[in-house]
């Protein structure tokens, strides 16, 4: 590779030699230390490559051998400069282009977030922008370690964050804390109570006293982690206290879902008609390219937006965003389906609802369903068992507790309020 670059810098030519004493010519060339390469022979014609500076010497040996030489192609910087030496605007434009690329490579043109599941991306992006990392930021003024610490302080749900800048791309990789019922910002006593009917599968109390164990069945409102705790003081005396209960409780929850699917359904049928609009965002400035904008005359249509950002290589992102908006016309079509097709549509709708309605931290561990038929359609009845977080904070009225464990009013009953 380095030899090729050296040859291109110095310049070289492709030469065609024709005659009957080609062997004598080649021998003279080698004997006088003239470097030639990539020789090919066809009849009484030989083609090869040689440096520009050696062509004059080659011509002398060719004359002695009765060989005629002809340059067929020229390569390298000397010929390139010769070609463009009078095209000043082209040279100036090329230099400006190179300088602009070098200048633009000093900025961040794409911020990418990885590892975010429950924390909203817009919160992370807003925090990054507030602390100096956004599209158009000068990357050499960024202090990544300080920035990582500030993001963790702004968003407590992030347990680990790594920011890596390569080229014009900034990649933010995060790891979130395990979902749990968080401690209150103040020290007000509270219980953790059940917000669902469930079978407990896991309980971990960070503070407070756990009142249930795996396998227990709880109803809505049952106390899972109590704010009332006891501990020994001076080795003998029991001390009663109220704390801010916190921890993680998971359980199996069973829900019933019913889906009706008629035999007559409406479908979208897309036509071949569409309208497209384009817009360009350059250096965070929007430019609308629709100087003659066509109004969408369709009665019913779907809007599809595609965003592209050109790049040179993997990490050099250009500060240009091209947005394409397509309006696709469709018409409603009523069709009749069989009982089997209606059942399959019910199953698809059930899977869709499970994705949309169930929390991100839940696991579907069992799914049982039955079908019932009527003259109008199919009804699916499903029992869904999921393992998920349960529990919510229930503030209690702080009470002074004596050494006997009773409140100052003489009762042992908790005064829990939600």
Determine the Cα angle at 249 with ends 248 and 250, to 5°. Answer: 125
CATH number assigned to the domain comprising residue 160: 3.10.20.310
* CB-based contact 168:110 (threshold 8 Å): yes
Residue 270 lies in a domain: yes
- Map tokens 């430019």 to a residue: 287
Domain span at 171: 110-176
| % of the chain with per-residue pLDDT over 90 | 24
Residue 276 lies in a domain: yes
pLDDT value at residue 166: 85
Nearest to 168 by CA among 112, 93, 94, 115: 112
* CB-based contact 192:394 (threshold 8 Å): yes
Residue 152 lies in a domain: yes
Residue 145 lies in a domain: yes
Q: How many residues does the chain have?
A: 418
pLDDT value at residue 101: 80
Mean pLDDT computed over 261-267: 91
Query: What total number of domains does the chain contain?
Result: 3
- Nearest-angstrom CA–CA distance, 392 and 223: 10
Residue 231 lies in a domain: no
Mean pLDDT computed over 207-215: 92
Residue 142 lies in a domain: yes
pLDDT value at residue 237: 55
Helix (H) or strand (E) segment spanning residue 17: strand 12-18
pLDDT value at residue 405: 47
Mean pLDDT computed over 172-194: 71
Residues 117 and 165 in one domain: yes
In sequence order, what are the residues at sequence separation of 6 or more whose Cβ sits closer than 8 angstroms to the Cβ of residue 6?
A: none
The helix/strand count (H/E) of the chain reads as: 8, 24
One-character DSSP codes across 283-333: TTEEEE--SSPPP---SSEEEEEEEE--EETTTEE-SEEEEEEEEEEEEEE
From 142, 176, 210, give the residue that closes a domain: 176
| % of the chain with per-residue pLDDT over 70 | 86
Half-sphere exposure of 72 (CA within 13 A, CB side): 12
Residue 321 lies in a domain: yes
From 303, 334, 365, give the residue that closes a domain: 334
pLDDT value at residue 232: 67
Candidate ranges 160-169, 281-290, 376-385, 398-407; pick with highest mean pLDDT: 376-385
Mean pLDDT computed over 256-264: 94
Helix (H) or strand (E) segment spanning residue 147: helix 144-154
Question: Largest Cα–Cα distance of the chain, in whole Å?
Answer: 127
Residues 115 and 169 in one domain: yes
Mean pLDDT computed over 292-306: 78
Mode of pairing for the β-strands spanning 209-210 and 190-193: unpaired
Residues 75 and 126 in one domain: no
From 141, 176, 211, give the residue that closes a domain: 176
CATH number assigned to the domain comprising residue 37: 3.30.70.260
Residue 327 lies in a domain: yes
Confidence of residue 382 (pLDDT cuts 50, 70, 90): very high
Average pLDDT, the chain: 82
């Amino acid at each position: 590779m380095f030899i090729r670059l050296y040859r291109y810098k110095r310049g070289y030519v492709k030469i065609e030699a024709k005659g009957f004493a080609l062997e004598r010519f080649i021998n003279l060339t080698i004997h006088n230390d003239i470097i030639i390469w990539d020789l090919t022979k066809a009849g009484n014609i030989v083609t090869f490559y040689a440096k520009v500076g050696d062509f004059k010497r080659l011509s002398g040996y060719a004359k002695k051998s009765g060989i005629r030489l002809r340059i067929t192609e020229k390569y390298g910087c000397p010929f390139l400069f010769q070609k463009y030496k009078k095209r000043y605007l082209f040279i100036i434009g090329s230099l400006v282009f190179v300088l602009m690329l070098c200048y633009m490579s000093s900025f961040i043109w794409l911020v990418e977030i990885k590892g975010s599941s429950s924390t909203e991306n817009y919160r992370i992006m807003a925090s990054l922008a507030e602390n100096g990392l956004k599209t158009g930021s000068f990357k050499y003024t960024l202090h990544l370690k300080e920035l990582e610490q500030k993001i963790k302080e702004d968003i407590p749900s992030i347990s680990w964050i790594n920011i890596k800048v390569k080229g014009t791309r900034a990649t933010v990789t995060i790891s979130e804390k395990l979902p749990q019922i968080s401690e209150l910002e103040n020290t007000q006593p509270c219980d953790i109570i059940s917000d669902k009917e469930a079978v407990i599968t896991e309980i971990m109390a960070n503070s407070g006293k756990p009142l249930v164990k795996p396998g227990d069945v709880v109803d809505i409102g049952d106390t899972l982690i109590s704010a009332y705790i006891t501990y020994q003081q001076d080795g003998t005396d029991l001390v009663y206290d109220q704390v801010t209960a916190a921890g993680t409780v998971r359980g199996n929850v069973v829900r019933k879902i019913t889906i009706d699917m008629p035999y007559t359904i409406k479908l979208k049928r897309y036509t071949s008609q569409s309208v497209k609009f384009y817009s360009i965002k350059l250096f965070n400035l929007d430019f609308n390219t629709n100087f003659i904008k066509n109004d969408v005359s369709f009665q019913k249509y779907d809007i599809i937006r595609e965003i592209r950002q050109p790049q040179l290589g993997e990490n050099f992102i250009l500060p240009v965003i091209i947005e394409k908006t397509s309006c696709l016309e469709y018409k409603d079509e009523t069709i009749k389906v069989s009982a089997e097709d209606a059942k399959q549509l019910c199953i698809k709708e059930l899977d869709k609802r499970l994705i949309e309605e169930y929390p991100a931290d839940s696991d579907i561990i069992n799914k049982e369903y039955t079908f019932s038929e009527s003259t109008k359609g199919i009804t699916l009845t499903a029992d869904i068992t999921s393992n998920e977080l349960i529990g919510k904070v229930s503030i209690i009225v702080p009470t002074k507790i004596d050494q006997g464990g009773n409140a100052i009013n003489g009762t042992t009953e908790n005064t829990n309020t939600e």
